[in-house]
Structure 1
Amino acid sequence: MTEAEMEAIVLAFPGAEKGQSYGQPAFKVNGKFFTRLRAEDSSLVLMDVSFDEREMLMEAEPATFHLTPHYRDYPCVLARLESLHPGSLRNFLARRWRRIAPKKLVRAYDHAEAGA
Structure 2
Amino acid sequence: MSPDPESALAKVRELALALPETTERPSHGAPGFLIEDGKFFAYFCHDHHGDGETVVIVKTTGADEQATLIEADPDCYFSPAYLGSSGWVAMRLDRDDLDWDRVGDRIAINWELAAPRRLLEAGGR
Note whether the superposition's TM-score is higher than 0.5. Answer: yes
Alpha-carbon distance in 1 for matches of 2:27, 2:103:
20
TM-score normalised according to structure 1 size: 0.77
The structure 2 residue matched to 1:86, chosen from 100, 115, 121, is 100
TM-score normalised according to structure 2 size: 0.73
The structure 2 residue matched to 1:25, chosen from 20, 26, 31, is 31
Matched, 1:64 2:76: yes
Work out whether residues 43 and 81 of structure 1, in 8 Å CA contact, stay in contact via their aligned partners in 2.
yes
Matched, 1:38 2:50: no
Alpha-carbon distance in 2 for matches of 1:101, 1:54:
20
Q: Identity of counterpart residues, as a percentage?
A: 25
The structure 2 residue matched to 1:16, chosen from 17, 22, 43, is 22
Alpha-carbon distance in 2 for matches of 1:100, 1:6:
17
In the alignment, residue 31 of structure 2 is paired with which amino acid? P
Which is richer in helix?
1
Q: CA RMSD in A?
A: 2.2
The structure 1 residue matched to 2:120, chosen from 81, 96, 106, is 106
Alpha-carbon distance in 2 for matches of 1:25, 1:108:
27
Alpha-carbon distance in 2 for matches of 1:99, 1:59:
22
Matched, 1:95 2:101: no
Cα gap change, 1:56/1:101 in structure 2, threshold over 3 Å: closer, same or farther?
closer
